[in-house]
């Protein structure tokens, strides 16, 4: 009888799309003066990680009242002043009202307002000349030398709904796959009372939720938009009219579902705030929030710190003994899959497939953890069987379903490479946490002592020849300043070559070590006058 119950429960979980309680899901919140960190653990494994500095402005998803500075017909884009050092980039297609049919399952409603005359990209310069004020939302923060990317298609996410104040369309997230549930939600969406010209989308977490939760969520969103409208009327351009909530509030909004067993917070103020925010949604769920007050740091106590450290290494090991290497470049992210220690000779094709499938699952996790975006190229271990290639591609597509960022995956090419894109809202976690090494300037490499010896001897030879051409009668005396390790190489291994150089070019050489010098730095001076020669 017990076995039958388990089968029924598993079957119900498959039908509703919910996981059984075999998976323990926890949210760990570390709130400090300069930094807030949130980790989502499933059975103790780190699945999501977000970090936010309290000193940095939250710009992505914030709404601004801006002013168009100039239009670039060649780029089909406008540059908009929203109050930052660099003007924001607004493509013409981000000004045209967005069609949601590709992203959501649209809901037809009786008497639904039909869109007015369609705007084309050719109409933009007439409708939005330089100097025009415009309401925009940031979709991508400034990255490197590029300014923010913006859109005029405004959306404000709530707990279960996303409000679109300037778009009358209504829809259901396509990630809700149960057809019966979709029909129920469509009926709820039809019955929601919205001001004219506004629309909503039901988020994935809205699955199996009662109608009253959507009504309450809509009321909060409409009040928020009312406050935004007041600021739009009263504040001059450029100015921020809606600030995206901080990490603590976004955690409650985006991560808290019935599947979450508990939220553990190490800061009393953040603990009280999270309980208050959850109380607005579900009073019963407030009991899931626990205050952590042990001496051991919370991320160390739950083994998060070690997992973060391992996750950000270039080489990430797989359970099978294989590993993946992740290299971020300016143009793209390259990921290489290797068998490593997993080298079973019984069935090579099966070994390769198992390693690639495990790598695909880990890659999807790493993309979320590191917030990697843009173009991604994955070099899986070569598979001869097309069926195996399809399995790996499907594993990747299944793995990104839980990713909030939009992704697009192409099949494995004839060269054995998989290309994919992942929406990039902001800099990757690596860029946010780390900076280029001031010593190697981000190269990760410095010249060897042999290379430096060759380069110094070449420069000495050039300098002595140049002084000879100037007509000096006395043998030139040079003093060369180098890094201590380079000097050690010159004295122990290249001394004979330097003596030969002195005799050949009739010069006198003396060397000095300077610990303050970069390994690749050296300086040649005139020993008598101190004048720098090279």
What CATH number corresponds to the domain at position 33?
A: 3.30.420.60
Q: Give Cα separations from 97 to 113, 174, 279 (angstroms).
A: 14, 20, 36
Query: Considering the domain boundaries, does residue 8 fall inside one?
Result: no
> Could you read off the pLDDT of 286-332 as tens digits, one per residue?
889 999 999 999 999 999 999 888 878 889 999 888 899 999 887 89
**Residue 104: enclosing H or E segment and its boundaries?**
strand 104-106
| 221 and 104 fall within a common domain | yes
The mean predicted confidence, pLDDT, of the chain is 86
Position 5 pLDDT exceeds 70: no
Between 529 and 190, where is the model more confident? 190
CA distance 60 to 508: 63
| 72 and 94 fall within a common domain | yes
Query: Considering the domain boundaries, does residue 195 fall inside one?
Result: yes
CB atoms within 10 A of CB 99: 12
Q: Omega of the bond prior to 238 within 30 degrees of 0, cis? A: yes
Position 21 pLDDT exceeds 60: no
Beta carbons of 199 and 169 less than 8 angstroms apart: yes
The pLDDT of residue 1: 41
Query: Considering the domain boundaries, does residue 422 fall inside one?
Result: yes
Query: Considering the domain boundaries, does residue 19 fall inside one?
Result: no
| 100 and 234 fall within a common domain | yes
Closest to 498 measured CA to CA, from 526, 461, 463, 473 = 461
Position 465 pLDDT exceeds 80: yes
Which of 433, 467, 487 corresponds to the end of one domain? Answer: 433
Kindly state the percentage of the chain with pLDDT values over 90: 51
Query: Considering the domain boundaries, does residue 442 fall inside one?
Result: no
Q: Which of 3-7, 302-306, 453-457 has the lowest mean pLDDT?
A: 3-7
Closest to 519 measured CA to CA, from 480, 490, 485, 479 = 485
> Could you read off the pLDDT of 138-166 as tens digits, one per residue?
998 887 778 899 999 999 999 899 999 99
Query: Considering the domain boundaries, does residue 3 fall inside one?
Result: no
CB atoms within 10 A of CB 164: 25
Q: At what angle do helices 268-281 and 247-255 cross, to 10 degrees?
A: 40
Mean pLDDT, residues 447-467: 91
CA distance 357 to 340: 15
CA distance 37 to 28: 8
The pLDDT of residue 312: 80
CA distance 436 to 291: 37
Domain range for 195 is 63-244
The dihedrals phi and psi of 418, each to the nearest 5 degrees, come to: -110, 130
**Residue 156: enclosing H or E segment and its boundaries?**
strand 156-157
The pLDDT of residue 73: 87
> Could you read off the pLDDT of 240-255 as tens digits, one per residue?
999 988 888 888 887 7
| 110 and 217 fall within a common domain | yes
The pLDDT of residue 18: 42
Query: Considering the domain boundaries, does residue 534 fall inside one?
Result: no
**What CATH number has the domain bearing residue 343?**
3.40.630
| 398 and 287 fall within a common domain | no
| 91 and 235 fall within a common domain | yes
| 201 and 126 fall within a common domain | yes
DSSP 208-264: T--HHHHHHHHHHHHHHHHHHHHHHHHSPSSEEEEPPP-HHHHHHHHH--TTEEEEE
CA distance 315 to 326: 7
Q: How sure is the predictor about 14, in pLDDT bands with cuts at 50, 70 and 90? A: very low
Residue with structure tokens 């291994």?
493
Position 8 pLDDT exceeds 60: no
| 397 and 377 fall within a common domain | yes
Query: Which residues are CB-neighbours of 461 under 8 A, at least 6 positions away?
Result: 501, 505
Structural domain count of the chain: 4
| This prediction's pTM | 0.75
| 417 and 279 fall within a common domain | no
| 320 and 424 fall within a common domain | yes
CA distance 81 to 68: 6
**Cα angle value 145/146/150 (rounded, 5°):** 160
β 508-513/477-482 pair status: parallel
Query: Considering the domain boundaries, does residue 15 fall inside one?
Result: no
Beta carbons of 156 and 242 less than 8 angstroms apart: yes
Q: Give Cα separations from 311 to 158, 209, 296, 300 (angstroms).
A: 31, 35, 22, 15
| 141 and 239 fall within a common domain | yes
Question: Residue 278 corresponds to which tokens in the numbers above?
Answer: 């959850």
The dihedrals phi and psi of 207, each to the nearest 5 degrees, come to: -60, 130
**What CATH number has the domain bearing residue 522?**
3.40.1260.20
Which of 433, 468, 485 corresponds to the end of one domain? Answer: 433
Mean pLDDT, residues 215-235: 94
Number of H helices, E strands in the chain: 14, 25
Highest mean pLDDT among 32-46, 343-357, 437-451: 32-46
| 327 and 222 fall within a common domain | no
CA distance 264 to 271: 8
Q: Which of 7-11, 99-103, 117-121 has the lowest mean pLDDT?
A: 7-11
Position 402 pLDDT exceeds 80: yes
């Amino acid at each position: 009888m017990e076995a039958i119950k388990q089968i029924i429960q598993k079957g119900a979980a498959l039908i509703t799309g919910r996981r059984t309680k075999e998976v323990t899901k926890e949210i760990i919140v570390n709130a400090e003066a300069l930094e807030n960190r949130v980790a989502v653990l499933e059975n103790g494994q780190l699945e999501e990680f977000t970090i936010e500095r309290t000193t940095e402005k939250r710009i992505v998803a914030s709404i601004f009242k801006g002013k168009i500075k100039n239009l670039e017909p060649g780029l089909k884009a406008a540059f908009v002043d929203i109050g930052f050092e660099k003007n924001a980039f607004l493509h013409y297609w981000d000004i045209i009202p967005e069609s949601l049919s590709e992203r959501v399952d649209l809901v037809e409603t009786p008497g639904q307002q039909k869109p007015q005359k369609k705007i084309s990209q050719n109409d933009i310069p007439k409708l939005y000349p330089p100097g025009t004020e415009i309401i925009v939302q940031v979709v991508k923060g400034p990255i490197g030398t590029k300014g923010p990317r913006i859109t005029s298609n405004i959306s404000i996410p709530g707990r279960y709904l996303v409000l679109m104040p300037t778009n009358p369309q209504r829809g259901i997230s396509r990630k809700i796959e149960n057809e019966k549930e979709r029909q129920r939600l469509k009926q709820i969406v039809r019955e929601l009372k919205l001001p004219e010209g506004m629309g909503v989308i039901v988020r994935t977490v809205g699955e199996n939720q009662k109608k009253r939760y959507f009504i309450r969520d809509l009321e909060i969103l409409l009040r928020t938009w009312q406050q935004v409208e007041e600021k739009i009327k009263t504040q001059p351009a450029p100015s921020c009219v809606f600030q995206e909530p901080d990490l603590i509030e976004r955690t409650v909004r985006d991560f808290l579902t019935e599947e979450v067993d508990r939220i553990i917070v190490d800061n009393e103020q953040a603990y009280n705030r999270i309980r208050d925010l959850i109380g607005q949604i579900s009073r019963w769920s407030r009991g899931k929030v626990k205050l952590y007050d042990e001496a051991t740091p919370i991320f160390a106590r739950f083994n998060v710190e070690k997992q973060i450290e391992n996750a950000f290494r270039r080489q990430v090991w797989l359970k099978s003994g294989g590993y993946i290497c992740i290299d971020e470049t300016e143009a793209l992210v390259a990921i290489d899959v290797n068998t490593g220690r997993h080298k079973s000779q019984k069935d090579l094709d099966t070994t390769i497939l198992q390693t690639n499938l495990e790598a695909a699952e880990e890659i999807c996790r790493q993309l979320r953890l590191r917030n990697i975006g843009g173009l991604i190229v994955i070099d899986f271990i070569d598979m001869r069987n097309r069926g195996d290639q399809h399995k790996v591609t499907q594993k990747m597509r299944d793995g990104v379903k839980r990713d909030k960022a939009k992704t697009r995956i192409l099949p494995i090419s004839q060269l054995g490479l998989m290309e994919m894109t992942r929406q990039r809202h902001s800099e990757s976690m690596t860029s946010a946490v780390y900076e280029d090494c001031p010593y190697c300037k981000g190269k990760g490499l410095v010249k060897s002592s042999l290379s430096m010896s060759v380069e110094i001897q070449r420069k000495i030879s050039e300098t002595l020849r140049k002084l000879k051409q100037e007509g000096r009668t006395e043998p030139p005396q040079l003093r060369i300043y180098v890094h201590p390790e380079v000097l050690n190489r010159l004295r122990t291994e290249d001394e004979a070559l330097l003596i030969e150089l002195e005799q050949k070019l009739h010069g006198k050489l003396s060397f000095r070590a300077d610990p303050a010098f970069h390994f690749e730095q050296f300086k040649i001076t005139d020993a008598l006058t101190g004048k720098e020669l090279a």
